[in-house]
Chains A and B, each alone.
Chain A
Amino acid sequence: MERRIGLVAAMAWAREKLFSTPANAALTVGSLALLYWCVPPALDWMIFSADFAGESRADCTGEGACWVFVKARLGQFLYGFYPEGERWRVDLAFALLVAACLPLAWPRFPAKGKIAALLLLAYPPVAILLFHGGAGLAVVETARWGGLFLTLVIAGVGIVASFPIGVALALGRRSPLPVVKALCVAFIELVRGVPLITVLFMASVMLPLFLPEGVSFDKLLRALVGIALFYAAYMAEVVRGGLQAVPRTQYEAAESLGYGYWQTMRLVVLPQALRHVIPGIVGIFIALFKDTTLVLIIGLFDLLGIVQAAVSDPQWIGYNVEGYVFAGLGFWIFCFALSRFSQFLEGRLAHTGRRARRTTKERQMATLDAPLQVD
């Protein structure tokens, strides 16, 4: 009896949601056909006919995907050319990071500020020591860094370094001093007007030309500087959106307390503005994460770079799809998780209602792809 009720309910649901009008029914049938045409062959290729066992190309039967390829190159995809014996250092550094970040992601964890400060101050030296070596650990040059490891390093350093620069630029853009404002506007608009790849190219091969002879940095460091400056301009625009959302009364209140410019900004405006823009910052982080792939054009081997190198290796020509699916999965998991996190934060901001004066529409305008918004 219960089953029949379930069936009836399901049919009612289907009639309403799938077959309400003839046009709707046609759409449903079309979609089902599309699914039938795509999903079973894809599943068959990925799983049922795929090769999992073996070591070399000879173990690929060619009926489905050959995951042997990914298995054979997994070490490279994750760590690049990082020496096998030293890879535990990378694992350890990321484990530390995750352990430190967990309490931060927790909504109501005590002493968040202190943990965050500790993370920002103490973690970078530890990570650099572990990654690069020194003080007893064997030195691993950055040229050997690669794969997912390098992708995470670039994304992490890029976002952390671009944040303070972006805040400074945003404050500069709203500064009462016209020269400062003009310089900041010029920098922001210049950077946002050109493709990242030209900036990377400049950082990669032209920067040494701008510096005195003999002064030269590591290639990875130069790419990081380029990425950080590039994304700082986008960050500045997101932060500016937050600054604009702080009501005028807040400035007036600060003034009545006798606060100066920096005190007003530091104690009153920025704390409110930055809370507003956290979803926007996560959005930038997603964009940055995806854009780390561009470093392959200047010869660094990020996750996509090393996969592309592997699929172009004549020993494995013809296994592109496997490589791209693997790399894609890697990127997708990170980006999707981040975008969900951003939505969660946005929802929480909306719920707290402290700044409920902003209408839904305005918030959509401000957060929807704020990093790319042009005024």
Chain B
Amino acid sequence: MQRHARIFLLGLAVLAAASLPALAQQTLKAAKDRGHLLCGVSQGLPGFSNPDGKGDWSGLDVDFCKAVAAAALGGADKVKFLPLSGKERFTALQSGEVDILSRNTTWTLSRDTALGLNFAGVIYYDGQGFMVRRKLGVKSARELDGATACANAGTTTELNVADFFRSRGMKYKLVTFEKSDDAFAAYVKGRCDVYTTDQSGLYAQRVRLDDPDEHLILPEIISKEPLGPAVRHGDDGWFEIVKWTLFALINAEELGITAANAQQQRTESQNPEVRRLLGSEGDTGKSLGLDADWALRAIQAAGNYGELFERNLGAGSPLKIARNVNALWSKGGILYAPPVR
């Protein structure tokens, strides 16, 4: 009997010892010790984060995580992707299961505050839209009175639909599913008249269909959906690394730095902004707790923002989404990153 008590005490001691390194502001150190970054992504959304048949991930959100891994840990491959459902994503970030949530997540006040998230900026300006079957003959979202809509559970989509219909005094029914693929499949099979999600998602899902032309994306955008990567409260150092990695990618596009020419620009460019960003002048990395090459690595890993966009969402992808508001401020869009200095 005593022996068992001793074993029990020993177990307690081990548990107590394990609790010692419970210190704040540890995300970067923990990731370094672990050897890789933990990046929460969607369970499959073409253009943003989508696994191929072998389980390798690609997409805008995925590339961003690779850029952060390159900047913070020194290699674009030092990242693991965890698919999270809409429901579990915030808890996963809060609880420390992932270091960064890069999962087409809308920046809202309550998420920024009560949920304990810090949004590191906007990687894609989106808005919620509707998709219907062409043969319904609906041309505008205002004609949807009485319709049944399918959507993903645990998203801002649910709330936006409620706002949209309620404010216009229109009736609706909403069926929500755990996975966006299930919601879309239910729409395709006729459970719902309308499928609703962020407009990028509508395009992404439509291209995967056999008969994309049978489905119409309605012109109305009923919400503002600034999508961005998020980290949890309480680790400002990590928040800054993620935030400035995003800004570095946007600035790189503005300065004409690409994955291919970054190394060359670093040595040859006379533009002080380029030199500061790529670490050949001053040391921007020091205040972030990184080395001078952080931005160079990030850009080399994934390309600048424009390259990321074209490859995953734009002309270089099956989605063929136009830049529109997601163009640089100098080109008619609203992308505007603070200066690196």
Does chain A touch chain B in the assembled complex, meaning CB atoms less than 8 Å apart?
A: yes
A192 at the B interface (CB under 8 A)? no
B-facing residues in A294-333 (Cβ within 8 Å): 297-299, 308-309, 311-315, 317-318
Interface size bracket, A side: 35 or more
A57 at the B interface (CB under 8 A)? yes
Collect the chain A residues with CB atoms within 8 Å of residue B20's CB. Answer: 212
A-facing residues in B159-213 (Cβ within 8 Å): 178-179, 181-182, 184-185, 188-189, 205, 208-210
Given contacts A317-B185, A318-B189, contact A214 B205 (CB under 8 A): no
Collect the chain A residues with CB atoms within 8 Å of residue B54's CB. Answer: 81, 83-84
A207 at the B interface (CB under 8 A)? yes
B14 at the A interface (CB under 8 A)? no
B332 at the A interface (CB under 8 A)? no
Interface size bracket, B side: 35 or more
CB-based A-B contact count at 8 angstroms: 92
Residue of B with least CB distance to A308: B182
Residue of B with least CB distance to A213: B22
Contact A299 B97 (CB under 8 A): no
Specify which of B23, B81, B94, B181 is in contact with A313 (CB 8 Å cutoff). Answer: B181
Contact A312 B182 (CB under 8 A): yes
B43 at the A interface (CB under 8 A)? yes
Q: How far is the CB of A45 from chain B (nearest CB, A)?
A: 18
A174 at the B interface (CB under 8 A)? no
Collect the chain A residues with CB atoms within 8 Å of residue B23's CB. Answer: 213-214
Segment of B83-91, B139-147, B273-281, B296-304 in the binding face: B83-91
Collect the chain A residues with CB atoms within 8 Å of residue B209's CB. Answer: 314, 317
B-facing residues in A189-220 (Cβ within 8 Å): 201, 204-209, 212-216, 219
Collect the chain B residues with CB atoms within 8 Å of residue A255's CB. Answer: none
Q: What 0/1 readout, one digit per residue, does chain B (2-23) give for beta carbons within 8 Å of chain A?
A: 0000000000000000111111
A290 at the B interface (CB under 8 A)? no
Chain A interface mostly: helix
Contact B95 A209 (CB under 8 A): yes
Q: What 0/1 readout, one digit per residue, does chain A (132-154) give for beta carbons within 8 Å of chain B?
A: 00000000010110000000000
Q: How far is the CB of B176 from chain A (nearest CB, A)?
A: 14
A367 at the B interface (CB under 8 A)? no
Q: Which of A83, A201, A208, A314 is most buried by chain B, counting CB atoms within 10 A of its CB?
A: A314
B-facing residues in A258-309 (Cβ within 8 Å): 261-262, 297-299, 308-309
Contact A76 B53 (CB under 8 A): yes
Given contacts A141-B80, A208-B96, contact A312 B55 (CB under 8 A): no
Complex formed: what's the CA distance from A314 to B188 in Å?
9
Specify which of B51, B97, B205 is in contact with A81 (CB 8 Å cutoff). Answer: B51
Residue of A with least CB distance to B18: A215
B26 at the A interface (CB under 8 A)? yes
B259 at the A interface (CB under 8 A)? no
Contact B178 A314 (CB under 8 A): no
Contact B91 A205 (CB under 8 A): yes
Contact A216 B185 (CB under 8 A): no
Specify which of A76, A141, A144, A207 is in contact with B95 (CB 8 Å cutoff). Answer: A207
Complex formed: what's the CA distance from A121 to B260 in Å?
53
Q: How far is the CB of B212 from chain A (nearest CB, A)?
A: 9
Contact B26 A311 (CB under 8 A): no
Residue of A with least CB distance to B51: A81
Contact A313 B208 (CB under 8 A): yes
Q: Which of A143, A308, A317 is most buried by chain B, counting CB atoms within 10 A of its CB?
A: A317
Complex formed: what's the CA distance from A262 to B2 in Å?
12
B24 at the A interface (CB under 8 A)? yes
Contact B55 A143 (CB under 8 A): yes
Contact B19 A212 (CB under 8 A): yes
Contact B91 A314 (CB under 8 A): no
B321 at the A interface (CB under 8 A)? no
Specify which of B1, B83, B184, B189 is in contact with A299 (CB 8 Å cutoff). Answer: B83
Contact A314 B26 (CB under 8 A): no
Given contacts A205-B91, A297-B178, contact A212 B18 (CB under 8 A): yes
Collect the chain B residues with CB atoms within 8 Å of residue A76's CB. Answer: 53
Contact B181 A205 (CB under 8 A): no
12 A-B pairs whose Cβ atoms sit less than 8 Å apart in the complex: A143-B81, A143-B82, A204-B88, A209-B96, A214-B21, A215-B21, A216-B97, A298-B88, A311-B185, A314-B184, A314-B185, A317-B185
Closest 4 CB pairs of A and B: A81-B55, A212-B22, A314-B208, A312-B181
Given contacts A205-B91, A209-B96, A299-B84, 11 further A-B contacts (CB under 8 A): A81-B53, A83-B54, A208-B96, A208-B97, A212-B18, A214-B21, A299-B43, A299-B83, A299-B85, A314-B209, A315-B210
Chain B positions within 8 Å of A, measured between CB atoms, are 1, 18-24, 26, 30, 43-44, 51, 53-55, 80-85, 88, 91-92, 94-97, 178-179, 181-182, 184-185, 188-189, 205, 208-210
Chain A positions within 8 Å of B, measured between CB atoms, are 57, 76, 80-81, 83-84, 141, 143-144, 201, 204-209, 212-216, 219, 261-262, 297-299, 308-309, 311-315, 317-318
